[in-house]
């Protein structure tokens, strides 16, 4: 397959079905082609059947990167420091690191120099996100609650002093926090993010 034919696929990320269609070849041939091109460095593989052209990844917008993160584990949504940075609520910067919340498992994927981290939470806490610009992302309040939740179990580190507390809706924080364990609520009280139980 001529590499230039990949440029006909007008998507940031694609699967073997797209390769087969672009080239007019069988799905099994497309899988062989994709595997060969990954070995040659002409394609990047995020996970099974999700490929990206290296030049497309370098040119990807922040929104496109977050959209791809949603596909790394389904279901999942962008949260924690990545969401707080997206909303301009923290001065703590993340480079080449995208954090999501998932219900299946905690894992990390890598694409070129970017790490996609998925933190597992209980299904009862899988809420508080919306679809914005094609991205499933936590609301600001849920993003910080997810961080406090993982912190309360020693599974996350957040520089709370880097947050702009004024940008959170305190009533929404109280409302959403009721679904979280007392351990999480107490940690939030300690940092002044929860005035009432």
How many C-beta atoms lie closer than 10 Å to residue 16's C-beta? Answer: 22
The pLDDT confidence band at residue 22, using thresholds 50, 70 and 90, is confident
Number of domains in the chain: 2
In a domain, 94, yes or no: yes
The pLDDT confidence band at residue 23, using thresholds 50, 70 and 90, is confident
Write down the mean pLDDT value for the chain: 94
Please check whether residues 43 and 97 belong to one and the same domain.
Answer: no
Residue 3: what pLDDT?
66
Structural domain harbouring 40: 3-58
Please check whether residues 102 and 186 belong to one and the same domain.
Answer: yes
Closest CA to 77 of 40, 27, 116: 116
Is 0.75 surpassed by the pTM of this model?
yes
Instruction: Please provide the DSSP assignment of 44-89 as one string.
Output: EEEETTEEE-HHHHHT--HHHHHHHHHHHSSSEEE-HHHHHHHTT-
Please check whether residues 106 and 169 belong to one and the same domain.
Answer: yes
In a domain, 196, yes or no: no
């Amino acid at each position: 397959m001529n590499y230039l034919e990949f440029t006909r696929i007008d998507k940031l990320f694609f699967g073997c079905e797209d390769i087969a269609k672009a080239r007019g070849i069988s799905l099994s041939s497309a899988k062989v082609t994709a595997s060969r091109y990954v070995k040659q460095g002409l394609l990047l593989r995020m996970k099974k059947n999700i490929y990206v052209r290296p030049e497309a990844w370098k040119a990807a917008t922040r929104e496109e990167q977050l959209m791809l993160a949603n596909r790394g584990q389904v279901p999942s949504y962008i949260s924690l420091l990545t969401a707080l940075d997206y909303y301009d609520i923290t001065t703590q910067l993340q480079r080449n690191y995208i954090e999501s919340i998932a219900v299946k498992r905690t894992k990390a994927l890598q694409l070129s120099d970017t790490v996609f981290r998925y933190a597992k939470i209980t299904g009862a806490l899988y809420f508080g996100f919306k679809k914005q610009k094609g991205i499933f992302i936590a609301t600001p309040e849920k993003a910080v609650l997810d961080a406090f939740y993982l912190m309360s179990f020693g599974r996350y580190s957040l520089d709370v002093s880097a947050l702009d507390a004024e940008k959170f809706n305190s009533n929404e924080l109280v409302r959403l926090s009721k679904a979280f364990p007392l351990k999480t609520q107490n940690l939030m009280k300690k940092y002044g993010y929860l005035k009432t139980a």
